[in-house]
Amino acid sequence: MPYCPKCGAEVSEDMAFCPGCGASLKAEKPGMEAVTPV
């Protein structure tokens, strides 16, 4: 079973978001992190 990359909670492979912290579990391309303009 996979784990959330943000909080380490156990998640199902068919889940889109972590039930523990709400992080997206979809595989993101490296370097494509969301950036908030300051």
Domain regions of the chain by residue span: 1-26
Q: Residue 38: its pLDDT value, please?
A: 76
Tokens of 12: 């199902």
Give the N- to C-terminal CA distance of the chain in Å, as an integer.
38
The most distant pair of C-alpha atoms in the chain lies apart, rounded to whole Å, by 38
* pLDDT for res 11: 92
The Cα–Cα gap between 25 and 13 comes to 9
Residue 12 clears pLDDT 70, i.e. is over it: yes
Model confidence at 22, in pLDDT bands (50, 70, 90)?
Answer: very high
